[in-house]
Amino acid sequence: MQGEVRLTVKDGIAELLLDRAAKHNAMTPEMARQLANHTRALDEDDNVRAIVLRGAGERAFCSGSDLNALAAYPSAWHFRNRIEYAAAIRMLRKPVVVALQGWTLGGGAEMALGADIRIAADTTRIGFPEVERGWVGGGGASQVLPRLIGHAAATRLLMLAEQIDAAEALRLGMVHEVVAPDALLDRARSLAARLAGYSPVAVQSVKAALRTAMEAPLSAGLTYENEMNVLCFSAGDHLEGIRAFNEKRQAEFAR
C-alpha cells in the first residue's frame, strides 16, 4: 500500500490525514508530493484559516520516511532533490495544530516540529533514530530542536537516538499539552477552531514573528514585529476588534 495524504475542509478548518496506518503512516515520495500539493493549495485558499495534521490509526502519528523508499533513490543527487515533507508543514503561513499519538519518529517528529501547536496523546513516543541507521535527519531537527528545547536536550535526542514519552516531551517544551487518546482529536480541532475565529492577518503575523524570533537578532526581531503590527492595522481588522470589545461581544473577522 502506497498510502495517501487526504485533505478535507469544513467550516474554515482543513484536516490533513496521513493515511497509511498499516505502515505506521511512514511517508513515501508520492505521499510527500501529495502533502506538498495540499499545503500549497491551503495557503492559497482564503476560506481556510487553520489546519489540523494527524495520522491514521492509533499506533502512530508518523514513523518517518519509508526506509525501502529511501533505498530506492537512484542516486544521492535524486535524494538531494526530493520533496521534503517536513518542510511542507514548516513553510505553511497558516496556523497548524498537530495531533500526535503512538510512534512519532524521524521525519514524522520533524513534521510535528513544523507545526505551531503540538498536542500529544499520552501514548506518544518521540524519537530521532536516523543516527542509528547511518544518516542525519533531513527535515530540520538538528536546527529546529536546539532552538526549541535547548542544545543539551537536543544533543541527547539526536546523537544518542533516545526516545521520550509524552510526559518528557511536555517537560522539555516539545509539546504544548498531553491528553488521553480519546480526547486528542477533539482537542486539536477545538484549538484549530479557536485559531480560525481570530483575524487571519493577525494570526499569520504572530506566526511569522514567532518564527523570526527563532533565528533573528533581538533588534531585527523587534523591528519585524512592529512591521507585522503595521500590516495588521493596515488590514483594518483591529477596528472590528475594538468594536467587539466596546460592545461586549465576540469579534467577527470577515477574511
Write the pLDDT tens digit of every residue in 174-220.
999 999 999 999 999 999 999 999 999 999 999 999 999 999 999 99
Does residue 58 surpass a pLDDT of 80?
yes
Task: List residues bridging with 52 in a β-sheet.
Answer: 15, 97
CATH number of this structure's domain 4-196, picked from the four choices 3.40.50.1370, 3.30.1490.20, 3.90.226.10, 3.40.50.2300: 3.90.226.10
Nearest to 99 by CA among 78, 83, 115: 115
Give the pairing type, strands 164-165 and 125-127. antiparallel
The CATH 1.10.12 domain(s) of the chain lie at 200-246
User: Residue 70's pLDDT band (boundaries 50, 70, 90)?
Assistant: confident
- Arch. (CATH architecture) of 200-246: Orthogonal Bundle (1.10)
Query: How far does the chain reach from its first CA to its final CA, in angstroms?
Result: 40
Residue range 89-93: mean pLDDT, rounded:
97
pLDDT of residue 147: 95
Q: How far apart are CA 42 and CA 50, in angstroms?
A: 9
Give the number of other Cβ atoms within 10 Å of residue 174's Cβ: 25
What is the band of 255 on the pLDDT scale with cuts at 50, 70, 90?
low
Which whole-number Å values give the CA distances from 144 to 6, 17, 110, 132, 153, in the listed order? Answer: 27, 23, 9, 20, 12
Mean pLDDT of the chain: 94
Start and end residues for every CATH 3.90.226.10 domain found in the chain = 4-196
Give the pLDDT of residue 222.
Answer: 95
pLDDT digits (tens, 9 = 90+) for 23-35: 999 999 999 999 9
Predicted confidence at residue 239, as pLDDT, reads 86
1 pLDDT more than 70: no
Single pTM value for the model: 0.94
Give the model confidence (pLDDT) of 213-250 as tens digits: 999 999 999 999 999 999 999 988 888 899 989 999 98
- Quote the pLDDT of residue 251: 86
Percent of the chain exceeding pLDDT 70 equals: 99
Q: What share of the chain is helix, strand, coil (3-state, %, to 5)?
A: 50, 20, 30
pLDDT digits (tens, 9 = 90+) for 105-137: 999 999 999 999 999 999 999 999 999 998 888
Highest-scoring range by mean pLDDT, 43-57, 133-147, 231-245: 43-57
